[in-house]
Amino acid sequence: MGAVDCHCHLAAPEFQRDIESVLEDAKKSSVLALVVVAEHSGDFTKIIQLSERY
């Protein structure tokens, strides 16, 4: 059984440098899904790109 992180900000610039390791750590911790939320409407494009990539 795993968890779902229902509120995270992976589109934030702070995560872009090491997004791969952040996602790998989540996977190793049995996180099954991440729900990425926007801080600003400008984040929508980045969130869609993340969704399509991962």
CB pairs under 8 A, 24+ apart, for 21-26? 23/54
- 8-46 pLDDT, tens digit each: 999 999 999 999 999 999 999 999 999 999 999 999 999
DSSP result, 17-47: TTHHHHHHHHHHTTEEEEEE--SSGGGHHHH
- Whether the pLDDT of residue 1 is over 90: the answer is no
> Which pLDDT score, from 0 to 100, does residue 52 have?
97
Dihedral of the alpha carbons of 34, 39, 45, 50, in degrees to the nearest 10: -20
